[in-house]
Amino acid sequence: MSYRRTKRDRVLVVDDDASLAEMLTIVLEGEGLTAAVCRSGDRVMAAFTQFKPDVVLLDLMLPGLDGMSVCRQIRATSAVPIIMLTAKSDTPDVVAGLEAGADDYITKPFKNTELVARIRARLRRSDQLAEPLEFGDIVLDPAGHTVTRKGEPLELTPLEFDLLACLLGDPSQVFTRETLLQKVWGYHHPGDTKLVNVHMTRLRSKIEDDAENPEIIRTVRGVGYQAITPVP
Amino acid sequence: MPSVARIWRRSIQARVVTSTIVLSALVVALTGWALLRDVASGLAEDRSTAAISEARSGFDYAQTQLDASVETEPTTQSQTLTQMVDSLTRSRGAQRTYELVLEGPLVTADGEVPIRSSAAIAAGSLPADLTDAVRSGPGTFWRYSDLGLLGGSDAEPSVVVGSQLRAPDSGDTYALFYLFSLEDQQETLDLVRRALLLGGLAMVLMVGGVAWLVSRQVLDPVRLARRIAERYASGNLEQRMHVSGEDDIARLSTSFNQMAASLQSQIRRLENLSRLQQRFVSDVSHELRTPLTTVQMASEVLYSSREQFDPQTARSAELLKRELDRFEALLSDLLDLSRFDAGAAQLELDTIDFSQVARLAAEDALVAREGITVRLLGVEEPAIVEADIRRIDRIVRNLMANAAKYSGSDVIEIEVAQNAESASIAVRDFGVGLSGDENLRVFDRFWRADPARTQGGTGLGLAISREDAALHGGTLQAWGRPGEGSEFILTIPKPQGSAKNPPLASVYA
Show the domains of chain A with their CATH numbers. Answer: 10-123 (3.40.50.2300), 133-227 (1.10.10.10)
Out of B282, B293, B390, the one facing A20 most closely (by C-beta) is B293
Q: Which CATH number fits domain B249-341: 1.10.287.130, 2.30.290.10, 1.10.3720.10, 3.40.50.2300?
A: 1.10.287.130
For the ranges B73-77, B251-255, B471-475, B497-501, the lowest mean pLDDT is seen at B73-77
Question: What confidence tens digit (pLDDT) does each residue in A40-65 have?
Answer: 888 999 999 999 999 999 988 888 88
The three-class DSSP label of residue B341 is helix
Q: In degrees rounded to 5, what are phi and psi of residue B370? A: -80, 0
Q: Contact A191/B346, CB-based, under 8 Å?
A: no
Query: Using an 8 Å Cβ cutoff, are B98 and B179 in contact?
Result: yes
The three-class DSSP label of residue A150 is coil
Name the nearest CA neighbour of B115 among B162, B71, B156. B162
ipTM, two decimals, is: 0.82
CATH topology of domain B350-493: Heat Shock Protein 90 (3.30.565)
Report the amino acid identity of residue B229.
Answer: A
Mean pLDDT for chain B? 83
A182: which DSSP letter? Answer: I
Question: What confidence tens digit (pLDDT) does each residue in B135-169 have?
Answer: 787 888 888 877 766 555 567 778 888 888 877 77
Find chain A residues with C-beta within 8 A of B351's C-beta: 222
**CATH 1.10.287.130 domain range(s) in chain B:** 249-341
- Rounded to 10 degrees, the C-alpha dihedral A103/A108/A110/A115 comes to 30
Q: Across residues A209-222, what is the average pLDDT?
A: 82
CA distance A52 to chain B (A): 26
Question: What confidence tens digit (pLDDT) does each residue in B482-501 have?
Answer: 888 899 999 999 888 888 88
Q: In degrees rounded to 5, what are phi and psi of residue A133? A: -120, 130
Out of B292, B301, B389, the one facing A191 most closely (by C-beta) is B389
Q: Give the per-residue pLDDT at A128.
A: 59
Q: Contact B390/A109, CB-based, under 8 Å?
A: no
**CATH 3.30.565.10 domain range(s) in chain B:** 350-493
For the ranges B4-8, B167-171, B174-178, the lowest mean pLDDT is seen at B167-171
Query: Using an 8 Å Cβ cutoff, are A34 and A8 in contact?
Result: yes
Query: For strand A224-227 and strand A217-220, is the pairing parallel, antiparallel, or unpaired?
Result: antiparallel
CA distance B298 to chain A (A): 7
Mutation target for B interface from A15, A17, A23: give the one with most B CBs within 10 A: A23
Greater confidence (A193 vs A202) lies with A202
Q: In degrees rounded to 5, what are phi and psi of residue B150? A: -65, 135
**Per-residue pLDDT for B123 more than 50?**
yes
Report the amino acid identity of residue B306.
Answer: R
| Homologous superfamily assigned to B2-189 | PAS domain (3.30.450.20)
Q: How buried is residue B450: exposed, middle or buried, by Cβ count under 10 Å (0-12/13-18/19+)?
A: exposed
Out of B293, B360, B389, the one facing A108 most closely (by C-beta) is B293
